[in-house]
Amino acid sequence: MRPARKTIHTAFADIAVLETHGSGTPVLLLHGNSTCKEVFRAQIEGEVGRTARLIAIDLPGHGESGNAPSAATYSIPGYADTVAAVLDDMKIDDVILLGWSLGGHVALELLQRRAGIKGVILVGAPPFGRGLTGMLRAFHLNPALLLATRARLDRGEIEQLARICFGGGADPHLTAMIARTDPKARRALFRSLIQGRGVNQREAAEQSPVPLAIINGAHEPFARIEYLESLDYDNLWDGCCHIIDDCGHAPFLEQPEAFDRLLLRYLRQITEKATVTRRSAPERRLARPGR
pLDDT value of residue 148: 87
Of all residues in the chain, the percent with pLDDT exceeding 70 is: 94
Task: Give yes or no for residue 5 having a pLDDT over 80.
Answer: yes
Judged by phi (left if over 0) then psi (alpha if -120 to 50, else beta), residue 173 lies in alpha
Of all residues in the chain, the percent with pLDDT exceeding 90 is: 85
Identify the helix (H) or strand (E) that includes residue 223: none
CA–CA separation, 27 and 120 (whole Å): 9
Judge whether 63 and 185 are in contact, CB under 8 Å: no
pLDDT value of residue 130: 87
In a domain, 291, yes or no: no
In a domain, 275, yes or no: yes
CA–CA separation, 277 and 273 (whole Å): 6
pLDDT value of residue 142: 81
In a domain, 62, yes or no: yes
Identify the helix (H) or strand (E) that includes residue 121: strand 117-123
In a domain, 166, yes or no: yes
CA–CA separation, 200 and 218 (whole Å): 26
* Mutual angle of helices 76-89 and 102-113, in 10-degree steps: 70
Judge whether 58 and 37 are in contact, CB under 8 Å: yes
Question: What is the domain count for the chain?
Answer: 1
Query: How confident is the model over 80-114, as pLDDT tens digits?
Result: 999 999 999 999 999 999 999 999 999 999 999 99
In a domain, 228, yes or no: yes
In a domain, 290, yes or no: no
Sign of CA pseudo-dihedral 186, 14, 174, 220? positive
Task: Give yes or no for residue 51 having a pLDDT over 90.
Answer: yes
CA–CA separation, 106 and 7 (whole Å): 20
pLDDT value of residue 225: 97
CATH number of the domain that residue 121 is part of: 3.40.50.1820
Place 274 in a pLDDT band, splitting at 50, 70 and 90: low
- Write the DSSP symbol of residue 259: H
In a domain, 212, yes or no: yes
pLDDT value of residue 228: 98
Place 209 in a pLDDT band, splitting at 50, 70 and 90: very high
Q: Where in the sequence is the domain holding 72, given as residue range(s)? A: 4-283
Query: How confident is the model over 114-169, as pLDDT tens digits?
Result: 999 999 999 999 999 988 889 999 999 887 788 888 989 999 999 999 999 999 88
In a domain, 79, yes or no: yes
Sign of CA pseudo-dihedral 120, 134, 73, 45? negative
Judge whether 251 and 150 are in contact, CB under 8 Å: no
| pTM listed for this prediction | 0.92
